[in-house]
A and B are shown apart, each in its own frame.
Chain A
Amino acid sequence: MNILIIGLSLAAMLFLLSAGLTLIFGMGGIINFAHGSFYMLGAYGGFQVIDSTGSFWLALVLAPLGGAAVGVLVERLALRPVYNREPFVQMLLTFGVILILEEGVRAVWGLDYKDVSAPAVLAAPVHVLGATVSAFRLFLIAFGAAMAALLFLVLEKTPVGTVVRAASADPEMVRALGIDVGLVRTGVFAFGTGLAALAGAVTAPLFPVELGMGFGVIIDCFVVVVIGGLGSIKGAVAASLLLGLVRAGGYGFAPEWVDLLSYCLLIAVLLLRPHGLFGRQRRLA
């Protein structure tokens, strides 16, 4: 029971983290290494909001907005000029963004760890079927599921989603239809970085809030995105669930091998399905 709940909560966190990364990749083919830095930015932003207003919920609203705003700047100033350049140029740029964001956070908030606590209503553990589980984890599961459902509906059922999917399939054709792909790209990038910041804010009560926090998570993000298939939200959901449950099981039976287990899963999926669970062979042109 506990393994299941904890596994689901890990899955929820993995999904929140990786959804933005996979969306951004799907859109412009950009591998955003700075995703972890936006996650960190969200956690610090969340801390700031809680510190000033005392409201965790307000932090969940404002931190992603801040992350999205910074995302707009990054996309406009750094990425827009290099969409048609070799992938390594884009990679280098996102690395540069990491350094800038980190220096910025350091200048504003200093080196110290920040304390972010769960809101009072979720602070006490609850008892479910005889097991003691964290109320905050149950909230995370619900939150992650809701976000996944929302994203899925937006992408699959709304006109905005259709445009996003089309623009990731063939930007040139979308332009020919009279849609400003640049605007769509900025929007998707900002949305993705906003999601990363949201993940940072919502998981801050469970992890150290410090300058290096982005590095640890970025690897997890890539594992999820690669297992799920680059650019696929459905894939991100499936891969998060798979990885979250495997991890939880791993902690249960052989905690010193959890990382190895994750990488074995990655390799196994790639051997069986080289493009990931829901990946498609991408047109390169």
Chain B
Amino acid sequence: MGASSHPQHTTSHATPQSRGDQPAVGGDDEGAPLLTVADVRLSFAGVRALDGVSLTVGEHELFAVIGPNGAGKTSIFNVLSGVYRPQQGQVRFAGHDLIGREPYAIAALGMARTFQNIELFENLTVLDNLMLGRQRHVRYGWAQAMWWLGPARREELAHRRHVEDLIDFLEIEAYRKHPVGLLPYGIQKRVELGRALAMEPRLLLLDEPVAGMNAEETEDMARFILDVRDELGIPMILVEHDMRVVMDLADRVLCLDFGQPLVTGTPEEVQQHPAVLEAYLGGGATTPTAPTPTAPTSDAAEEGPR
């Protein structure tokens, strides 16, 4: 435990962490991407939320998913974290098949996420919320917890140090002991990022991290996301409506519409792609409701992930 639970996020070129301390994770497919999603299909009573989605995320990649409202972006995250079980398709993460795994087991493999509508534990303090992110690293059991002295206290101290480093990193020292529910929205978003980072994830899923933020808060958050990539070396999938943020941060972008992948490519490629323009414009005024995920998308989907 000891050393691994006290990483220095301040060291500038950290290698992807939580590799050494998670022997179970050391996948069996060498050289393969960290995450491979293949032909995932998910529907709810007639609604096709995901219709043949495939993507890969590399070890150092910041991968963005964009698309109009209801395109299925959050559904991808829910499939990845085990909340939804797709009817079809494969998900491979760090050498493990994820479909059918319980969410806690997926978290234990190093998948962390934030939520579109903040899902913090409002009654708990910032500190406790972040400490909850350490759950997958906790080794002591209930009996040791009740006794406290010994392993429980030693581990709790190590987790506390780790969490305090993150509190520094995210500049939320002043809120440490505040119940999260009373904090401003922008700070809550930051705390949620902190909780995910406390997991020392191998992959971080961010669902609209700057939604509802003003320009200044957006800039702060974008900076934190860059720091997470560059300093902590954690690969990410970013779902975001703010195109400027996506274009600035992402290495590659996938655009979805009605659950179908339109195109995957560099931010520039995706931005100029006719099918993407069509989806965003078409989603607005011309065909507002009719769910006809057929004509404009089918050929574009061929391009799929590289």
B is bound to A: no
